[in-house]
Structure formats: structure tokens, C-alpha cells
């Protein structure tokens, strides 16, 4: 294409052949770069010397627990990897195990206070890899509202025009979402002899209100 700017002629060439294509010849969006290196500027990396230590509740080699700033509830916690990992679906087995262990400890404290809990994670790939640090949120749920948690989640997802998909457990997350950006939820389910169960769900993309 020829463009004339003043007395100058500029040639502009659009190259459509460099984009990746699927087997049907359709263009495929580029996958965001996943950078696992420590980021001194990341708010959630232990490598950041300015990490807000007063919010940290406990820490181990692979994961730590911190209070959420501006959380849904005053006991709203986050379980995070100590290293700069982007999301649970892409975390190695040892990190996933450490996250499970920390969630179990937090949920035990909630149960002692006669509360159930819900989990959520939001994964949006960012071009700025410094922003890609996994956060699994643990939010206490009053037992009086636990039975309504599933219905509340379903209504919120429906109002947003999105689709809620149930998965058996969080370990199935990677298979369920692939490379897509996602919401992961675990909400109180049915009562059992061992207490209230957790039901696991994923939503692909979109925006959702979390304080309903």
C-alpha cells in the first residue's frame, strides 16, 4: 500500500503469513510468554525486598499464606507460590502439593470458628510477565450461607453471560482450561459425615462480581 505524507511516499506492507494457524488454516492468537524467573518488582514474589511482610501469616519453601489487601472479608487470605509461577494449572506438582497443604491449614482455622470456605483463582495472561503471579484466594463463608453458595455462583455466572463448568477436583484444572484465561471456584457443597464437601467449577474468560 502506498501512502503519501506531504511530499513523501511511504510504502506499507502487511504480512499476513507470519501468524500461526490451526489445522483448518484459521489464525491462532499468540500464547503469552510465561516467565518463571523471580521478579524483584512483583508484589507477591519473595524475591521482592519490599514485600509486605506484615500481611504474611505463614510461609514454607514452596508456598505462603497472606492476608488479602482490601479483601472480601477481614479473614480473606491468599495462598501463593513463593516463586513467580503464573497460575495453579501450570504449577509443578511440589508447588501444588504445598498450596493444598496451606489451604487445608487455613480451612481448619475457619472450621474452628464454625465457618466453611470458598476458593477462587483468576488467571489472565499478561504481556507484562511481572503481573503473572498466582493467587489462590481462600474466603470464609458463614455456615448459615453455605447451602446457598452454589446457587449464588450459578446466578452470578449466568448474569455475566458466561458458562459454569463443574470439574471433579482442582487437579483437573489444566485439562479443563487448556491455555485459556479462566476463573476457578470451589464452593461449599452437600453435607457429609466428614463435613461439608467442596464443589469445583471453572469459567472461561469474562468478568464476575465476587462480593455477592
Q: What is the pLDDT of residues 111-160, one digit of tens each?
A: 999 999 999 999 988 777 777 899 999 999 999 999 999 999 999 999 99
Contact 76, 137 (CB under 8 A): yes
Categorise residue 83: left if φ over 0, alpha if ψ from -120 to 50, beta otherwise: beta
Residues 6+ positions from 143 with CB-CB distance below 8 Å? 114, 115, 116
Indicate the SS3 state at residue 170.
helix
For residue 22, name the pLDDT band (cuts at 50, 70, 90): low
Rg of the chain's alpha carbons, rounded to an integer?
21
- What's the pLDDT tens digit per position in 93-119? 999 999 999 999 999 999 999 999 999
pLDDT in tens, 40-76: 778 898 878 878 889 999 999 999 999 999 899 999 9
Amino acid at each position: 500500500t502506498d501512502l503519501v505524507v506531504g511530499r513523501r511516499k511511504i510504502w506499507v506492507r502487511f504480512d499476513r503469513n507470519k501468524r500461526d494457524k490451526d489445522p483448518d488454516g484459521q489464525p491462532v492468537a499468540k500464547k503469552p510468554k510465561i516467565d518463571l524467573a523471580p521478579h524483584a518488582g512483583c508484589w507477591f514474589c519473595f524475591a521482592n525486598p519490599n514485600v509486605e511482610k506484615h500481611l504474611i501469616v505463614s510461609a514454607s519453601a514452596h508456598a505462603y499464606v497472606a492476608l488479602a489487601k482490601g479483601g472480601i472479608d477481614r479473614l480473606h487470605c491468599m495462598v501463593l507460590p513463593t516463586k513467580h509461577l503464573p497460575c495453579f494449572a501450570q504449577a509443578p506438582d511440589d508447588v501444588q502439593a504445598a498450596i493444598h497443604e496451606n489451604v487445608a491449614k487455613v480451612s481448619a482455622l475457619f472450621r474452628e470458628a464454625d465457618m466453611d470456605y470458598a476458593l477462587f483463582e483468576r488467571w489472565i495472561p499478561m504481556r507484562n510477565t511481572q503481573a503473572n503471579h498466582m493467587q489462590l484466594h481462600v474466603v470464609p463463608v458463614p455456615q448459615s450461607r453455605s447451602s446457598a453458595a452454589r446457587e449464588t455462583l450459578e446466578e452470578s455466572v449466568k448474569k455475566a453471560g458466561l458458562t459454569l463448568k463443574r470439574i471433579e477436583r482442582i487437579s483437573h484444572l489444566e485439562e479443563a482450561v487448556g491455555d485459556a484465561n479462566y476463573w476457578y471456584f470451589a464452593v461449599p457443597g452437600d453435607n457429609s459425615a466428614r463435613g461439608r464437601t467442596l464443589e469445583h467449577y471453572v469459567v472461561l474468560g469474562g468478568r464476575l462480581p465476587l462480593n455477592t
